[in-house]
Amino acid sequence: MQLYNTLGRRKEEFIPVRPGKAHIYVCGITSYDYCHIGHARSAIVFDILVRQLRHLGLEVLFVRNFTDVDDKIIRRAESENRDWREIAATYMAAFHEDMDRLGVLRADLEPRATESIPQIQELCSRLIAAGKAYATPGGDVYFRVRAYAPYGRLSRRSLDELMAGARVVPGEEKEDPLDFALWKAAKPGEPSWESPWGPGRPGWHIECSAMSQPFLPLDIHGGGQDLIFPHHENEIAQTEAVCACELARFWVHNGFVQIDQEKMSKSLGNFTTIRDILRDYLPESLRFFLLGKHYRSPIDFSPEAMDDAEKGQQRVYAALRDAVRALGRASWKATPLPAGLREEWDALDGAVSAAMDDDLNTAQALGHIFSQVRIVNRLLEDKALRAARGTGDLLEDFLARARQWHTRFGLFGQEPDAFLTDLRAMRARRRKLDLDRVEELLARRVQARAAKDFAGSDALRETLAAMGVSVRDTPQGQEWDLE
């Protein structure tokens, strides 16, 4: 398997540090608010990576942390007159609720910053003893950036470049504007822990170094592109300055989510939470949309893009439904399937795996899945092919592959009729369509056809079409959908 390594800016063969095993650490959320679509993308990307490595037969240890004490959490608690611990607990629980709905597998371990205070303090002490950090009279502890020569190699930034934008906040006792906080002296009313430097709490970056230490060296450390600098750059510096080892063999980062081609941010007012989206779309539709682009590319979220994703899902689930029905009424003849068609079918399964082995190319993998759907639809629509010897085996294979897709991608695992019904209901709700009225007209059309009133049936079809409802007549009866 080839995986893009941010450290070298190239794809490299993934070879585990420990034969047969893989240790993955991904930076989790700061728990002060509901998760947005950017969190969803990162979580789903690394969920796919874990699934892929397990598919390849590796024993994966997946660690994802929670930052449960931070300036943002403290400010939220103050603004709502609540305890900071309550704020953190509320949004950690919300994270799990959102990710469970999106089909994201739980991490094997979920360490929290507040549970790692002794390890954080020990790491600070080791850095001070090694001359890589220093304590100030005011009780802060800072990392000496210039004492770690490789600083900047992940983000490809020079110290001169960083110095141009560096500043010292009034009250800070830094030796150098580039130095960053490992331990922050307590301020009145803020949470704090006793330490050798006085009461205080951890800085953001040191938390992950302490929480990842038991699993070093990591095979993969990951997160969003926004974490490359300063968070992951600082993690490397403060960890490798004392561990005499490589923090992570691979650094993997997912691309941004854009809203109408602008970077999503609260300041721009285009901040979209997962819960906002799931009021209008099914969870699997959001997951499918996010897997439709390569994980390193930016992805543009819009209602139109989500509508297109729904249509793609509908094609796959409709093919699964129709395959099940065809198998239920099968009577195969002696005529074999064309050899070329079977060869094309067999090649597509390998093509899905090849796409995933090439830096988790889910967009390409989904393209190969749609090629399989086209073959299935061709079989079911062509009278000669539908009854050919070998069609049944191919349809059975299609259903078996869909079960694998559910395991590998978290997609296409629902009962097709139930999913299509839920999808139709969600679309109708977005359009504020009266489903009772639709069902009434459909029932009247069935009655008209039974009475051979084809003019009345056609008129009802036109009324439904004006409402955005398409109707088709099948051997199983009347079926409808929203255009």
By the 8 A CB rule, do 351 and 369 touch? no
pTM, rounded to two decimals: 0.94
3-state class percentages of the chain: helix first, strand second, coil last, to nearest 5? 50, 15, 30
Q: What is the pLDDT of residue 76?
A: 96
Choice between 278 and 384, residue whose per-residue pLDDT is larger: 278
Q: How far apart are the first and last CA of the chain?
A: 40
Mean pLDDT of all residues belonging to the chain:
94
At residue 470, the 3 state secondary structure works out as strand
Question: If residue 446 lies in a helix (H) or strand (E), which one and from where to where?
Answer: helix 435-450
What is the mean pLDDT of the segment spanning 110-118?
Answer: 97
| pLDDT tens digits along 344-388 | 999 999 999 999 999 999 999 999 999 999 999 999 988 888 888
Rounded CA separation 308/305 (Å):
5
Asked whether the beta carbons of 249 and 230 are under 8 A apart, the reply is no
Q: How high is the pLDDT of residue 170? A: 72
Q: Which helix (H) or strand (E) is 259 found in, with range?
A: strand 257-259
pLDDT of 478 strictly over 80: yes
Query: Considering only CA atoms, which of 304, 232, 262, 285 is closest in space to residue 5?
Result: 232
Distance between CA atoms of 222 and 211, rounded to whole angstroms? 14
How many angstroms separate the CA atoms of 58 and 50, rounded? 9
Burial class of residue 456 in the structure, from the number of CB atoms within 10 Å of its CB (0-12 exposed, 13-18 middle, 19+ buried): middle
pLDDT digits (tens, 9 = 90+) for 165-186: 777 777 789 999 999 999 999 9
CA neighbours closer than 13 Å in the CB half-sphere of residue 382: 12
Please check whether residue 36 is in contact with residue 271, taking contact to mean a CB–CB distance below 8 angstroms. yes
Report the distance separating Cα 194 and Cα 200, nearest Å. Answer: 7
Long-range contacts of 461-464 (CB under 8 A, 24+ apart): 464/438
Across 206-228, average pLDDT = 97
**How many beta carbons lie within 10 A of that of residue 109, not counting itself?**
14
Please name every residue paired with 183 in a beta bridge, in sequence order, or none if there are none: 141, 202
Region for 262 from its dihedrals, namely left if φ exceeds 0, alpha if ψ lies in -120 to 50, beta otherwise: beta
Dist. CA 182–CA 143, nearest whole Å: 6
| pLDDT band (50, 70, 90) for residue 240 | very high
8 Å CB contact between 258 and 299: yes
Whole-angstrom distance, CA of residue 31 vs CA of residue 89? 8
Sign of CA dihedral 30, 36, 37, 38: negative
Say what the pLDDT of residue 266 is: 63
